[in-house]
Structures are given as C-alpha cells and as structure tokens.
Structure 1
Amino acid sequence: MISRRNIRVKVMQSLYALEAYAENPSGVQKELTTDLPALEKNGIKVLVEKIQRSSDLFALMLLYVSKVAQFSETSARQRASKYLPTQEDLEVNTKIAGNTFLWELLGNTTFLEKVKEDKLERFIDEEWVKKLYQSLIASEAYREYTAEQSRNTAAEKAIMQHIWRTEMLENEDFQEYVGDEWSGWEDDKEMVVMLIDNYFRSSKNVNFLQFISAEKREYAYSLLKTVLQKEEHLMELIRPKLKNWDAERVALIDMILLKMGLSELLYFPTIPTKVTINEYIEIAKNYSTPQSGQFVNGVLDNLLKELLNENKIRKIERTK
C-alpha cells in the first residue's frame, strides 16, 4: 500500500528526528556515530512509529468519512424523538447511510480489524462528526445526491469523496483540530491524502493490516541503517561537491536527502540511478526550501557522473 517514495519520506523524517535527538541540553550537536548500534536501534524505533502513525491516520480519516455518512441515521432518530417533531423532522433523508461505497468499506474485515486493534474509535470526536454532517447536508452536492432516487456506483463514490475532500480537507477548523490532536499531522498529511485518493480510485482488496510489505519494510530499514553506517564515507564524497556552500549551512533536510540519495546510488543495486535522483528531487521540492530541488539535483548529478567515471556504480536489473 505504502509506496517507495512514502518510505523515503519516512526515513528522511526519522533521520531528521535522530539529528534533533542528538542535541544535548546545552544545544551542542553530538556525533551521530558515537554509539552506532544504539543509534540504529533508536532510528528503527522512530521509523516504525512514524509508519504506524501514517497507517493509523489513513484508517482514521476513512473512519471519520464513514461516521459522517452514518450520522444521518443518528440525526433522523434525534429529530424524530423531539417532543413536537415537524414533518421535516420525520422525513430526514438517510440515503447516505446505505451508501454502497460506505458499506464496501465497512465490509472490509481488515479495516474493521485495524480500527479494533489500534482502538481508533477513541480518536473520533462526535461533535466534529456532527459538525461535518451538518456542513455536508447544507451542500449542493448532498442535495443532488439525495434528490436522485436510484443508486449508481459513480454517485455513491462521489458523495463519499465529497465528505473527504470538501467537508474534511477544506475545513480549516477541522484540519487545525487534527493537527492539534496528532503531532506531526502536517508531515503525514500529503501521504495520507495520496493514500485515500488511491483508495477511492481502487478500493477493492485493500488490506489495512498490510500497510507496508515485508520487502518495502526491509528496504526502509536498510536505507536508514546504510545512511547511519556510511555517514563518514558519504560526507567525504558530498563535501567536495558543495562548491560555494558551507556544509554546516546546507539545510538539514537537504543534507539528509543527499546522503540517502548517495546511499541508493552506491549500495542499492536494484534501484535505477534515474529513479533515485528523480525521487529525491521531488521530495526536496515538497519538504525543504524552494531551491532545494535544484540543489539536490545538481549535487547528486555531479556525484553520479564522478562515480560512473570511477566505475563505482554497480546496478543490476531487478528480477520479477
């Protein structure tokens, strides 16, 4: 489910966290290689936690979507139980509670197990479910959906996407609430949005309990460990390429991305060099400064040319 780019981002975030942890109370930066085994252990722990958090957020946001749709039945019961209900109170449209896309999600046993195992229900704020529902029923998209008597696959999916995209993602107050409740939401948001968009495109056979495959988990661990283990050698290669740049002044994320990219070029023979460079350019653009994409591209490209000339790049075609 999670892509290699997602994994690279999580490794980058974990290495960034380790750099922050490396500072002692006086603010003096310690050498990351002082205790390599402990550092690797801490790095893997941070990485696992970050992947788990992304997995939880992915499922939680879909759980919110489902709760908002299902709230129509709660609203109908509450309004019908008024002491003097109006005719409108007695005729609340609950079509969305039977939404076929919704029930496909709720029929996914791995989704239900994920929600139960990680106790995601405890993160649902019922007041926010109600607010999101009230915003939903006031929308033109909802009026058009309920006005149509029949059900069709496109419309069923579209109204659920509307809840996600418009009522949740574009609601600044809700986004602020999620950010307050989940530290680092902004770091995970782009990935979660991509995962949910992918889910809407193809929801069949999605396994919420297999957020990351064994192969990709091994890649993530190996990439993180390689950057830590080869730190000194990587910097020996990178420093000469920082013309007109003080290595200490290069943005921390940029330096981490350079070390990750160089690690892939040297020590991951099945990953094509073009893929590596393109991936780190995009990550730099999204997560660092406006100039970072061009900077990372220039340095990695120079490193690649030099390493190719010295016959130090060994790539093999991946077997299927």
Structure 2
Amino acid sequence: MAEAGGWSTIESDEGVFTSLIENLGVKGVQFEELISLDADTIRSLSPVYGVIFLFKYLQDQTPTTPTAPKDGTYDTNAPENLFFAAQTIQNACGTQAILSVILNQDNAASTPYPIDIGRELRSFKDFTAGFPAELRGEALSNSETVRTAHNAFARASPFVDETVRSARDEEGDVYHFIAYTAVNGTLYELDGLQPYPISHGGCDADGFPEKVIGVLQRRIERYPEGETRFNLMAVVRDLRVGAREIGDVEVLEREARKRKAWDWENTLRRSNFVGFIGEVLKGVVGMKEKEGKLDEWVQSAKGETERRLKR
C-alpha cells in the first residue's frame, strides 16, 4: 500500500471503479467495460453518464499551440456548473477522470437521472465551486477522503512503493485516463493535463453514443497502426435499478453474480500473499529434505524451466 500522503496506481477495472465510488458515498452508479467502439452498445446501457478512456500517453499528443487542442476547441469560458480540475499529482488520473463524470452528472441540467453523489463529494464540490482548475486540482490531491478510497484498491506488494517513480519508470510506457461527458448540451473532454475543458460541440443524451464514438475514433486514428492498448469504461446507472423497475429476474441474477465476483476480486487485490507463498515453499523444501530428494527436485525444476524457455 502507499505511504501516508501518497497516491497509488489502481487498475482500470469495472469492479474497482464501482466499489471506489460506492466507498465515496455515490449511489446508483456502476461501470461497464466496453470491448468495442460501438454506439449501439453504449445506447443499450442507457442512461449513460459518460465514458472513461484509458490510453498510452504520447508526448507528441500535447497541443502544438496553447490555444488549440488536436481535436475540438478549448472552452475558456466554461459554464460555472462544469467541474474541471487540473491534474496536480501522479497516479490519481483514474479517480480524477471518474469524478469528472460523477460530479458533472448530479443535476437535472445534465441528465434526467441525476446522480446521488453522497455527503462527502457534495461537500467537496460545494467547497471548490468557485476555484480555478489549478486550485481545484490541489484541493482534490489533498482530500483525505478521496485519497483513502483510491488507495484502498492499490496493488498490494511488499517490494514496490507505488508512490515513488524511478528514472526507469519515467522511461517506460505511461498511461492516462480522461473523461467524456455531456454538460449543458455540450460534449466535453475533461483531461486534467490540458489547460481547459475541451468542447466537442452540441450533444444531448440521445446523441451521446454516436458523438463520443466519433471523437474516440479520431483520437485512436492518431496512433500508429496496430496500437491496441486502449480501455473504455462506460459510467451508467446501476443496471439493477432498471431491472427491478421492469421485473427482469435474469438481469438481476446476472448482476448479483457480477457483484459477488467483484467483491472477491477486490478482496484479492487488497491481499498480500507473499508470506503465505513463502511458508508453503518452506514446507515443501522441508518435506523434500526429509525424503532426501531436494537436489533431485531442484534439478528437475531447472530442467523443466529450460524446456519451457526453449519452447
């Protein structure tokens, strides 16, 4: 886990994201992974509050001028009710993208199904309402509530401090999360590394699937041919709500199984099995020593490893 005050990296996973916002007090919302850029798939999950896009960050994707992004236009006079925060810390871009959707879909001006964001996030949003993007980002980075919820899903490791990035880490692939959501009839791209929200033009709830797919396709086309390291997550109303409204038992059972699997997977994410594995290994070694077969066992393992490497 991360040390006090740090933000760990978390996995892009529908179960992780859903549990994270529930821990923050958000009600009636879940995440669904999208395996294809298909407007009909997004529409089938309606109502959809927005999407979270994970991609490999390329340095040449930064805007060539401070006034023009590569797609869309900077909204330098964004509406007051638009929540947009600059990214001021590493590792938190996933949670920041999530909040960029959640905190913009809590009122009837954006959606006919406003999100109940809970007491903690309501207090945070109200407190930062008049802040500029940079100060809002600082407030987010210093929120103990949000950081604690985020770090609850850190990858458990006794060897790696997720809050420290080495020179080698900086040279490797870097991935980034951004949010797309419609606010006041406009599709916005909310990226904390950009100076302003990016407007992609008029967009209502019915037109959101086609509009956002078009924007994403243009973005992906800027990558080298064959690049597939992308992940897309839809932010939707809890699917159990609609299923209860129409009495769809099959969906309710499917969602119950899914939630049970998410709980199990998240429990494993929080666990560190190194000690357990070490004790098992010591027990096996002790047993082989008693049988006088330790050297034979080690040589057999080495031979099997060599055969696998050759294959």
Q: TM-score, normalised by structure 1?
A: 0.25
Q: TM-score, normalised by structure 2?
A: 0.25
Q: Which has the higher helix share?
A: 1
| Larger RCO (CA within 8 A; separation ≥ 6) | 2
Q: Which has the higher Rg, Structure 1 or Structure 2?
A: 1
